[in-house]
Amino acid sequence: MRIGWLGLGRLGLPCALVLADRGHDVVGLDIADGVMDQLQFADADPLRLPYLEPGAEALLKKAIAGEISFQAAGGLQDLVDRSDVLFIAVQTPHAPEYDGTVPVPAETRDFEYGYLVQAVREVARAADTLDRDLVLVIVSTVLPGTTDRLIRPLLSRRISLVYSPQFIAMGTTIHDFANPEFLLLGSDDHTAAALVAQVFQKVHTATPMVCSITDAEMAKVAYNTFISMKIVWANHLGALCDATGADADAVVDVLERASVRVTSAAYLRPGMGDGGACHPRDLIALADLERRAGLDVSLFHGLALTRDEQSLALARLIKHWSDQTGLPVALLGLTYKPGVPLTDGSPAQLLRHHLEVVLGLETEVHDPYTRRALALKLTHPKVFVISTNHLEFRGQEFPRGSVVIDPWGDVRIAPDAGVTLVRPGRR
């Protein structure tokens, strides 16, 4: 079976490489300017991708060496001609003001589907020109109803459609793609769904879950925003614990035993808001769906606004300690999650916005992953804020006289270190 993959960005390329590494013949293409050149489908030493994704460069080197079957298509028609199953993983972006790094705009907005629609339109034209059958698999995140509304009308009867979003995170894309909790296949064509399930049998043993395309579209954004909801809830719990004298970690130690109704302890502990290229914008898009559906209460818009308010509350706490001590403020971390250099939708950037733009407080930022240097030496006392919970910060030494504000509860400081440790919501 020949596999095509259209959209070789930070998500698409690692996934396509995994398929090739597991024995599939894969041909890939990206129509964005310069992407194919960046991938260097030729001898290159040293080989460098324009982003950090563990394992991706090693797999690409195997492809260049001919150890796995992953080739660059000569164009869109060549891609379609060499594919039995074609995955489309192009972006469905939001404008920058909707990405979670600044407060949520008053007006909600759906995703931008122009790139996806154009990609599908061109694939459909190529398939018609070549007069061949094709199973088309949409990977891109969309709101429910979008595939039926915008994608299906573009296709001939010879193209079978499957919606199969992947539940992955940047920085762990290869691991997540190869070790999913389940395989989601949205389709009303059971033969096509079975063929896509067969593709993944070489990758993992996860159970395929087949449902309608609309159900699968909703499941994807429900999955993402449920994580968002858990994080917002966890931070709200931290605020309530702070107000009542309870300890959030002790409370969660109880709740995590409720494995039937609470289901897991993931994302339950207070920290900072969620981030990344998906979750903050998914909240806004689902808020727009609520509005169009005529629902009286917007849970998802409320979650996004609550995420903003939690960030502002933390900023006010930081300003309080800065005003009280006269110390400047330093944010430790700017990326949206530990161990990666990505700042998409970063709650640390949102916090910086609240400190500088809303409260007028100057800040400095130290992040070992954006500076490409993992060692951090702090020399002068400041109000240090653990704004990204990088593992490197857990054993960090702080200058005597400093205040350390740790929303995550990860930092440990010796009692005689002369440092004030503030852990909101925790004793």
pLDDT at 27 exceeding the cut of 90: yes
Stronger pLDDT, 272 or 268, i.e. the higher one: 272
pLDDT at 244 exceeding the cut of 90: no
Model pLDDT for residues 403-423, shown as the tens digit of each residue? 999 999 999 999 899 999 999
Stronger pLDDT, 260 or 357, i.e. the higher one: 357
Considering the chain, what is the average pLDDT of its residues? 88
At 249 the three-state DSSP class reads helix
Q: Is the peptide bond before 144 cis (omega within 30 degrees of 0)?
A: no
Model pLDDT for residues 149-164, shown as the tens digit of each residue? 999 999 988 899 999 9
Largest distance between two CA atoms of the chain:
76
Residue (of 351, 267, 268) closest to 315 by Cα position: 351
pLDDT at 171 exceeding the cut of 60: yes
Please state, in angstroms and rounded to a whole number, the distance separating the CA atoms of residues 427 and 416.
Answer: 18
Please state, in angstroms and rounded to a whole number, the distance separating the CA atoms of residues 406 and 239.
Answer: 14
pTM: 0.78
* Residue 217 token pair: 């579209």
As a whole number, mean pLDDT of residues 363-369 equals 90
Are 225 and 300 in contact by the 8 Å Cβ rule? The answer is yes
Domains in the chain: ranges and CATH: 2-211 (3.40.50.720), 282-422 (3.40.50.720)
Q: How confident is the model at residue 44 (pLDDT cuts 50, 70, 90)?
A: low
Question: Residue 5 belongs to what H/E stretch?
Answer: strand 2-6
Stronger pLDDT, 287 or 57, i.e. the higher one: 57
Strands of 145-205, DSSP E:
159-163, 183-186
Are 387 and 277 in contact by the 8 Å Cβ rule? The answer is no
Which residues are within 8 A (CB) of 187 and not within 5 positions of it... i.e. 6 or more apart?
Answer: 160, 161, 162, 163, 193, 196, 210, 212, 213
Please state, in angstroms and rounded to a whole number, the distance separating the CA atoms of residues 320 and 299.
Answer: 31
Distance of CA 161 to the CA centre of its chain: 25
As a whole number, mean pLDDT of residues 206-216 equals 95
pLDDT at 374 exceeding the cut of 60: no
pLDDT at 42 exceeding the cut of 80: no
Q: How confident is the model at residue 424 (pLDDT cuts 50, 70, 90)?
A: very high
Are 46 and 24 in contact by the 8 Å Cβ rule? The answer is no
pLDDT at 368 exceeding the cut of 80: yes
As a whole number, mean pLDDT of residues 57-78 equals 91
Please state, in angstroms and rounded to a whole number, the distance separating the CA atoms of residues 331 and 382.
Answer: 10
Distance of CA 392 to the CA centre of its chain: 22
Q: How confident is the model at residue 46 (pLDDT cuts 50, 70, 90)?
A: low
* Residue 202 token pair: 């070489």
Are 246 and 191 in contact by the 8 Å Cβ rule? The answer is no
pLDDT at 122 exceeding the cut of 90: yes
pLDDT of residue 266: 73
